[in-house]
Amino acid sequence: MWPPLRHIEKEAISSKVKSYIDELRLIPSPKAYCSFGNKPLREPIFWTGFGVENQGLDGPFDSESDLNDAVIKKCLSSEHLKGKADFFKRHLPLILGSHPPVLTHGDLQRKNILVRIMSDLDIEITFLDWEIAGWYPSYWEYARAILACGRFEDDWNCWVDRYLDPFPNEWIWMHTLMLELWERQQALFEARPQGSPSIAQDCAEAFGADKSYHCPAYFPNHYSSTVVTWEMPKLIQGSTARIIITGNRAAKIYSGNDENFIRECNVLRRLGKHPNVVELLDVQDRTIVLQAGRCLRDILREGDISNEQQEKWLSGLARGLQHMHDNNVLHADLNAANTIVSGDDVAMWIDFGGSQIDDQEALANYDEYSYRPPEYPDPPVSRATDIFAFGCTVFEIETSAPPFYNETKHMSQDGRMSYVEDMCRQRLFPSVENLRFRPIITGCWQGRYESMSDLKQDLNSIGVQRSQPLSWYYFPAMRTAIRNGLGRLWAFCAEQLLRETRQFLGERSG
């Protein structure tokens, strides 16, 4: 579809591709040249054949010189390239050196870029085929993209120079190496045993089965294609940053908002390592690397959460919020969407870019209207407003929906906001009649808790009640009812005894 596109459309696509590439480059490297999880690179030029051990030729590499040495060893493994190996050894370091590892797609050609054009300036793109992605030398993406231009039969190569930093000298060397080495790949491909696994299938095993993608592998004059399953990096667009999740790490990339970036870094450093607060792993440029997990709201929407699970998450989140308050931090945007559950099933708070720390005013004020206190927007962010929002989180954990969801789900956005604000001003909150955590929720909404330590005591008592289901003594309502019943019975018996005594004495006096 590329050649017939208008110039303005090509410019828009190129600009969008460049913005995505720039974001990829912001993701910190693991200080090595490797695939995800510090695993060997999946670039085909390191491949030595089906059923043949690569013997470290595919990394991971600690330095670019180690990677170059692997290329030379690969040449030595090929009979027709042994004579050139010494030449490459002498001259490769002169050109292919001083290139830091950057996150690289590895095969950015037109067929791997899915484009949706809504208008001249409204373009959506998606990168496909991440099979060989990893951290490669900074020239690698350009060299591979230009190599994929083939015979340069149209102007695509000109636009590659726009969305990627050009490395023409490096490309000439890579062009020579790849074509030379791929002659060996073709011979290996033709000799592939029937039923042996493909490179794409190896990739599936390396990354783990999660989602299905079409991952083609290319060789000169050959094309093989296998539907494989592996985990793609997940992209989440937030209000102030984009988040890219790979494995158990999340890279939060801030763009154009230094204040939120600095605030989140300062808050997370203040809070340190706590099991119920997301852990800050690294900071590079405008990117913070965090512990990853599943969004609690997404989990709740799947339903079927046990009472024990709810109690575990709420107890952890209560400890996390108390830790914040004890360290003079107010979150200012508590809700189930700003909570994640880690791989070992621990709930933790995230998103501190708008939080208040010490006397620095909050940059957020409960962006979700169903979590705002009745006085919004007048009261400043405080422990009380955080605790109010915590009660809304408890409500969502038990009902799997935010407050007022059922009452407003058929309304427009403006209608929902107006309805919720009006109900809160009148302090007419959603019914909690049959909810197990009713005392906690109403206590948060009615301002009964001065601190999270008070709330945790009530939360612990609910856990004690659940853990003693056969003992009526642990249920205050039942205990009170029985006491009242015994009192009424005692009063009745005493009155009856007095009546009979008077009657008896009257008969004797007569």
Using a cut of 0.75, tell me whether the model's pTM lies above it: no
Q: How many CB atoms lie within 10 A of CB 169?
A: 12
Asked whether residue 69 falls in the same domain as residue 166, the answer is yes
What is the tens place of the pLDDT at every residue in 263-289? 999 999 999 999 999 999 988 777 888
Residue that terminates a domain, selected from 179, 207, 235: 207
Query: Are 498 and 420 contained in the same domain?
Result: no
Same domain, 63 and 180: yes
Residue 499 domain flag:
yes
- Residue-wise pLDDT for 107-162, tens only, equals 888 888 888 777 666 788 888 888 889 999 999 999 999 988 877 878 888 989 99
Residues 340 and 189: their CA atoms lie apart, in Å, by 45
Does residue 229 lie within any of the structural domains? no
Backbone angles phi, psi at 142, to 5 degrees: -65, -45
Domain span at 442: 300-464
Same domain, 169 and 200: yes
Compute φ and ψ for 177, nearest 5 degrees: -60, -45
Q: Poorest-confidence range of 17-21, 187-191, 395-399, 481-485?
A: 187-191
Contact 394, 442 (CB under 8 A): no
Co-location of 355 and 455 in the same domain: yes
State the pLDDT at residue 354: 93
* Listed residues 150, 181, 207: the one ending a domain: 207
- Say if 291 falls within a structural domain: no
Residue 23 C-beta-side C-alpha neighbours within 13 Å: 21
Beta-carbon contacts of 189 under 8 Å, excluding residues fewer than 6 positions away, are 219, 222, 224
Mean pLDDT (whole number) for 180-190: 48
Average pLDDT, the chain: 79
274 falls within a domain = no
Q: Indicate whether 42 belongs to any domain.
A: yes
Cis bond upstream, residue 93 (ω within 30): no
Is residue 217 situated within a structural domain? Answer: no
- Position 52 scores a pLDDT of 44
Q: What is the pLDDT of residue 79?
A: 64
Q: Are 480 and 392 in a shared domain?
A: no
Assess whether pLDDT exceeds 80 at residue 431.
yes
Is there a single domain that holds both residue 457 and residue 310?
yes
Provide, rounded to the nearest whole percent, the portion of the chain with pLDDT above 70: 75
pLDDT higher for 485 or 35? 35
Instruction: Provide the pLDDT for residue 45.
Output: 76
Mean pLDDT for 202-217 is 35
Domain with residue 154: its CATH number is: 3.90.1200
Q: Encode pLDDT of 223-267 as tens digits.
A: 333 333 334 455 565 666 778 776 788 888 887 667 999 999 999
Q: Specify whether 403 is located in the same domain as 487.
A: no
Q: Check residues 422 and 317 and name the one with the higher pLDDT.
A: 317
Determine the average pLDDT of the residues in 38-48.
78
Same domain? 31 vs 177: yes
- 165/143 same-domain check: yes
CA 36/CA 103 separation, integer angstroms: 9
245-280: b (≥16 Cβ within 10 Å) or e? bbeebbbbbbeeeeebbebbbbbbeebeebebbbeb
CB-CB contact of 32 with 135 (8 Å) = yes
Residues 97 and 150 grouped into a single domain: yes
Q: What is the pLDDT of residues 312-341, one digit of tens each?
A: 999 999 999 999 999 999 999 999 999 999
Which of 37, 44, 78 has its CA nearest to residue 60? 37
pLDDT digits (tens, 9 = 90+) for 70-110: 888 877 766 667 777 788 888 888 888 889 999 999 988 88
**305: Cβ–Cβ under 8 A, 6 or more apart, which residues?**
299, 397, 400
Any domain includes 493: yes
* Number of folded domains that form the chain: 3
- Please write the tens of the pLDDT for every residue from 444-501: 999 999 999 999 988 888 764 554 443 333 344 444 445 566 666 666 676 777 777 6
Residues 175 and 307 placed together within one structural domain of the fold: no
> Strand order in 347-349's β-sheet?
294-295, 339-341, 347-349
Domain end, chosen from 143, 174, 207, is at: 207
Residue 386 lies in a domain: yes
